[in-house]
Amino acid sequence: MNRIDKKLREEGKLLSIYFTAGFPNLNDTADIIIKLQESGVDMIEIGLPFSDPLADGPTIQDSSMSAINNGMNTDILFNQLKDIRDKVSIPLIIMGYFNPILQYGVEKFCKKCNEIGIDGLIIPDLPIDYYLENYKSIFEKNKLYNMFLIAPQTSDDRIRKIDSISKGFIYMVSSSSITGSKNSFSSEQINYFERIEKMNLHTPRIIGFGVGNKETFNVTVNYSKGAIIGSAFIKNLHENGVDSIDSFIKSIR
């Protein structure tokens, strides 16, 4: 069984953390992953740095540029992760834009992910139909899940289609804006959460974008299986360093 499915079947609500590989320092990647598991995180999204991250807010954009300036690239990331399964058992997902994956070679990238023990990918700018036509078989051959995103403007028909082809979870984007932690959700966002909940989708949902503290985490898990925190965690890394990971996670739950 894929580690993502196994985790989703556990009791309780999940906390997934996103961070940018190679930030704040080039060789922090594995250490951050290990410390996150030790702190009780359920799932980790490893951000593949890209020079033009259109969906990301300034915090993640800055971390991505810092990581690139530190020298991070796909080969280095794979090298940093080559022994990660000796120390980490929770699901690991690589999240990034399609361009670096395409440049690396999609089949080569997926094969490397499988060898290392990556459980899935989140590629926000890879169109679903293009994935189904060109890459689905490659992902399946390498035992990788591809998690799709929905947002407030996604039509019900599109959501139903995503639900019908999804494995693992659906990444439920909380707003139509770029990433970034907030202190609360608007009534429009709550209405959106309620609308999706009433659709009774088959695939579990995990909410991201705008989740950054205990309050917003507690709201999102009322409407989903769990929540993803990215910008707030990266900001904490920048301000307080890797040694602050445990205290940050404890502040959320």
pLDDT digits (tens, 9 = 90+) for 66-82: 999 999 999 999 999 99
Domain ranges (residues) in the chain: 3-252
Q: 184 falls in which pLDDT band (50, 70, 90)?
A: confident
| pLDDT tens per residue across span 98-121 | 999 999 999 999 999 999 999 999
Q: Six-digit token pair at 192?
A: 């959106």
Region of poorest pLDDT, from 72-86, 121-135, 173-187: 173-187
pTM of the model: 0.94
What is the residue whose two structure tokens read 């769990």? 226
pLDDT at position 8 over 60? yes
Are the C-beta atoms of residues 231 and 179 closer than 8 Å to each other? yes
The pLDDT of 26-34, averaged and rounded, is 98
What pLDDT, on a 0 to 100 scale, did the predictor assign at position 179?
Answer: 53
Are the C-beta atoms of residues 234 and 36 closer than 8 Å to each other? no
Region of poorest pLDDT, from 7-21, 46-60, 170-184, 229-243: 170-184
Fold of 3-252: TIM Barrel (3.20.20)
| pLDDT tens per residue across span 206-224 | 999 989 999 999 999 999 9
Q: 53 falls in which pLDDT band (50, 70, 90)?
A: low
Q: 177 falls in which pLDDT band (50, 70, 90)?
A: low
- Taking all residues of the chain, what is their mean pLDDT, rounded to a whole number? 94
Q: Please identify every residue annotated as catalytic.
A: 45, 56
The pLDDT of 129-133, averaged and rounded, is 96
